[in-house]
Structures are given as structure tokens and as C-alpha cells.
Structure 1
Amino acid sequence: MPNLDLSILVVDDAKFSSAIITKTIRNSGYRDIRIANNAASAITMLEQRPVSVLIADWLMPEMDGLELAEKVRQLDEASNHFTYIILLTAKEGVEALAEAFDRGVDDFVNKSEMNKQLLPRIFAADRISDMQNTLLVANKLLMDNNKELEDRNVLDLSTGLGNQRLAHDRLEDMLRQTESRGGATSYVLIGIRNWQTIRKQYNPAIVEEVANGVARRLRHLTRPLDTVCRISENQLAIISHFNSLDQCTSTCFRRIHDGINHKAFKTTAGFISVQAGTSIVGIDGSVAMPKAQDVERVALKQLQYAYDTGTISICHWPEATLEAQKSE
């Protein structure tokens, strides 16, 4: 059963020819038919409202059917739409048809056989254009859903730890809690200095085993209420709350630092050691709370110092800002 609401655009510079084509289509029950007397007018109409089927004469002045087909494909790409293009032609031969297919044409109707060929070709175009546009809409919905899931995702899919988004949000929450209830917030940044070396030396599956090993060990080394996140491929963050800033010391985090550095990780390729640097920023509840991104920036600056010295780099806010300025 044909879709009588199928949108069709007929493009022909010969008014008599376009009238004959339109009459033939209307007599078959199709209702949504528009007519353009040249390719430029057709493009304007398509920009206003796309169609499912375009029927155009191959030979037209100024812009022929092939050039029109290329323009239509550009419009389709921009609007996530598919237009089935049928050219009316008296041309024959493999080379001419091959060129037309290469430039975006879907089908042909020979002018001498138009009375026999036109309607069957439109019936086929109806099915194909409907299927193509249904797939395009479904694909667009799938892409939108995937993007929404990515925007909402707070987990690192490889390790199961929180990702950078969760770390940032958790740090913001912890800073607000410290401001209202007192105590202190600590932001610990752990960077694996030899990560690129590990990636070059081992295949991706082994590298993932190392990442998961680091994640598991950090879970065991941290307190149950601490938040552990993998914020990039070779960096992890720990967000914690303490009763006072005096508890936020390098000694407190020495066990974590040594636990990552001094014990190799077992993989199917053998034991692999990582070289980690640790940077800590502590914020007391009695000072004006910084923004989460400022704390992250200072911790990243301090991480380079930890790499260079092989020590745990620790600083307290607002002195941390001064230390970061010195390292710039």
C-alpha cells in the first residue's frame, strides 16, 4: 500500500513535461507534490521543507540534474535527512550512469519509457526513503542517548572508580561541608610517572591490569568514607575529610604513597612496578573556601614538585596558592 502522503518534488525546466509528470503522480493518489522550474528554486524549496523523493530532469540550464543531486546530498547531510533522487534522462551507457551514481543519484527513468517506469520507481523510492529516514532518526536518538549517558556518567569504566566528574563534584561537596561544619578537606593527587613507559612496553590488556591493580590497592589503603577517583589515564584523586587540619599530614598519607610505589603489581605478564608521585592540598574550615578547580590546579602544580624530588608534596590553603605561584 503506497504512502499517499509521500512528499515529492518535481524539477523540470520544461513546464509541459513537469505538468505531465505531476498529473501522472496525482492520478495515482499522491497529494504532497511540489514543482520547481529550475534547480535553484528546488534548492530553496528543499531548504524550507525537505522531501522524500526528488524527480529531476538530467539536462537543465545553469544547474543540471547531477549538480542538483550534489547540492541535495549536502542539504541531507546538514539536516540528517535522506532524499531519494530519481533523474529523468534520455542518456544511456554504463559510463553516464556510473557518473550519476557516484554523484548521489539513486535511480533513473528513461524519458521514452516514463509512462511505464515512473510509478514503479516511485513505489520503490517510497519504501527505501522511509527505511533510510527511519534509520537516520533512530541513529540520531541513539547518539543523543549515548551523549546523555556520557554526560551523566561518573564512573571510570575500566577500573570502576569514580571519574574526573565525580571527583570534582565530590570535592565541591566536601568543601561546602567543611565550610558549614568545620574540620578540614584534603585533596590528594597521585600521578603515575612511568605510565607512558608501561604503555609502550605492554599491550593494552596488560596496561588495564595495572590500572585495575592500582585501583584495588587504593581502595584497600583508603578509609571507607574517602572518595577515590581515576581522573585521567595516569592520575588518581582521593578526597577526604578530617576533624582538623593537623591530621592532614604527609605521615597520614605515607602508607598510601609507599603502598603504590614499593610493591609491584601482579599481571599476566609478570610483576610490574609503578613510579607514583603524591601531591596533597589541605583546606581548613576556618579559612575562606576556595573553588574546587583552584584546589585541583594547585595539586597539579605540586605534583610536578613531587615527581622532581621523589617526595610527598603537601601544602595547606591559602599558603598553597603562594606555593603554586612560585612554581609557575
Structure 2
Amino acid sequence: MPNPQLSIMVVDDAKFSSAVIGRALTQAGYQDIRFASSAVEALQQLEKRAVSVLLADWLMPEMDGLELTARVRQHDESTNHYTYIVLLTGKDGDKVQGEAFDRGVDDFISKTSMSDQLLPRIYAADRVSNTINRLLGETRLLSRNLASLESRNLVDAVTALGNARFARQKLHDTLRQVESRGGACCCLLIGIEDAKKHQHTLGDKAYNELLSAMARRLQHLVRPLDILARIDDECFALITLQDNLQQCVPSSFKRLHEGLNLKAFKTSEGFISVKAGIGMAACDNKLGLPEDNALMSLAHQQLADAYATGLVSAVRWQPQ
């Protein structure tokens, strides 16, 4: 059964097509339907009020459906909301659709099969968007609860991640696990080049928004069991347990580097691009294990190389 309160936006520069879709949705019982004749107008409306499902034509002048999807994802990231995006398209082929999925599109409706596909796709979109946004709400509640632990000095108040003390404790625990059970430990420091310049230009409020946006993006990019923390105003730490040192290589963390450097972050001062560097130090128990401070210090040394080269800089710990 349709959810009458589901918020839907239809974005199409062809008024006839919008009218056909709107009529079908209204007849199905949906009541909260908005229309935009361009991607720019859609973004302006979303700034005022979010929607659960966005139906957009792939091919539009000025800004197409893929570009609109990228902008909506940035907006979602800044508002901690999820918009389920369906593109209306006459295109076909796995390669085309694969590219669109990589860009953040959730589903497609073929224009040639609109009458058959529209309502089933909307029913599915309703279920998925409701589930994701409910989980986001629970995460916000969890974040508030975690922030209350700040008095124990384990949680960063800005991002609700662990803080520097938390990172060192978890690095110590991971090293002890490698010592007893084998495997390899990777300690990554993810830094913002020219962080102080950004902080001075943006001011504390917007800079904290930037840090929070980076934290949210990193949480989406790392594995569920990886340990993510904020060390200070310039740096995040990521601690991972791998099966062996062969997995502790730059290519394993390329997605993090690209995820931070290729898309801007939305703040109250506008979209901010950063140059992020990743320095990594790894070890296993074949050569003995370092102290947690020594491994983190080694990762910090690699961070300077990462800024200089624009690549993930990695080194294996060696006993002195």
C-alpha cells in the first residue's frame, strides 16, 4: 500500500512528462508531490525542505541527472538525510547504468515502460528511504549519547568520533591482538593540508562543520570494524586489523584518498575542497611489534610525504 505522506519531487524540463507522472502518483494516493522544471530549481527547493524520493530526468539542459545526483548527495551529507534518487531514462546497457550507480543513483525507470515501472519503483523507494532515514535518526541519537561520554575524554565533541586518547587505546589493543593472534596492524593518519589556513579563513564554526562532514564521509568509506578517531584539528586516525601485510598497501586505501579529495564538503560558508593526505605505518609480529606511540609517530612522518606527492604514503615498521 502506498504511503500518502511520502515526500516526492519530480524534476523534468518537459511539462507534459511531469504532468503524466504527477497524475499517476496522485491517483495512487500520494499527496506530498512537488515539481521542478530544472535541476537548479530542484536544489533550491531541497534547501527549503528535503524529500524522501527524487524522480529526475537523466537528460536535462544545464545540469543533467548525474550532476544533480552528485549535488543532492552533498546536500544529504550536510543534513544527515538520505534522498532516494530514481532517474528517468531512455538509455540502456550495463556500462551506462553501472556508471550511474557509482555516481550515487539508486534506481532507474525506463521511459518506454513508465506505466508499468513507476509505482513498483516508488513502493520500493519508500521502503528503502524510510529504513535508511530511520537508521540515520537512530545514529543521531547514538551520536548524542556518545557525546555525553566526553567527560571520560574518549569522545570528540565535534565529530562524535573517538578522540586521540581513544585512538591510542585502540591502537594498543590492536597491536596486542596481532601479538597474540597474528595478522597485521595498519595505522593511518588522515590529515588536511593547510588546515590552519582553512581554519583561519572559515572560522571555528564552519571549520567544525568541515571536520564533521569529513568524519561522516570517512565513516561511509571505512569498513564496519575499522577504528576511526579524530586526533586534533588537522588529523584523523584510522586503525585497521588486516590478515597480513600484503593488505597494508596504498591501493587498499585509495577509496579513502579519492573520497576526500575529489568531492567538496558543504559548510555554512559554501562548498569547501580540501587536499587530504594519508600517511600509513604497518607492522606484524614477524619482526616484533612497536609501541603504539612509535607506530603512530611513523605514520605521522609519512603524512608529510603524502602531502608532497599527492599519494597515500606507506611504510612498514622496522625495529631499530
Please, what TM-score do these two structures have when normalized by structure 1?
Answer: 0.51
Partner of 1:264: 264
Q: Deviations over 1:134-189 (max 9, x none)?
A: xxxxxxxxxxxxxxx87731011010010000000000000000011011000000
SS in 2 for 1:219: helix
Amino acid paired to 1:228: L
Amino acid paired to 1:242: Q
Partner of 2:252: 252
Q: Which aligned pairs between 1:40-55 and structure 2 lie closer than 5 A?
A: none
SS in 1 for 2:210: helix
Contact 2:260 2:274 in 1 (8 A): yes
For 1:294 and 1:226, the matched residues in 2 are separated by 20
Unaligned stretches of 5+ in structure 1?
1-148, 322-328
Partner of 1:177: 177
Q: Which aligned pairs between 1:1-328 and structure 2 lie closer than 5 A?
A: 152-318=152-318
Contact 2:150 2:156 in 1 (8 A): no
For 2:301 and 2:281, the matched residues in 1 are separated by 11
Amino acid paired to 2:263: K
Amino acid paired to 2:175: L
Q: Once the two structures are aligned, what percentage of the paired residues are identical?
A: 42
Contact 2:171 2:292 in 1 (8 A): yes
Unaligned stretches of 5+ in structure 2?
1-148
Question: Rg larger in 1 or in 2?
Answer: 1
Shift of 1:228: 0.3
Shift of 1:203: 2.6
Change (3 A) 1:171 1:273: same
Partner of 2:56: none
For 1:156 and 1:252, the matched residues in 2 are separated by 27
For 2:159 and 2:278, the matched residues in 1 are separated by 20
SS in 2 for 1:202: helix
Shift of 1:200: 1.8
| Larger mean Cα displacement after TM superposition, 196-205 or 291-300 | 196-205
For 1:308 and 1:164, the matched residues in 2 are separated by 25
Would you identify which runs of 4 or more consecutive aligned residues in structure 1 move more than 3 Å? Answer: none
Amino acid paired to 1:278: I
Aligned length: 172
Contact 1:179 1:286 in 2 (8 A): no
For 1:217 and 1:173, the matched residues in 2 are separated by 25
For 2:154 and 2:236, the matched residues in 1 are separated by 14
For 1:161 and 1:223, the matched residues in 2 are separated by 15
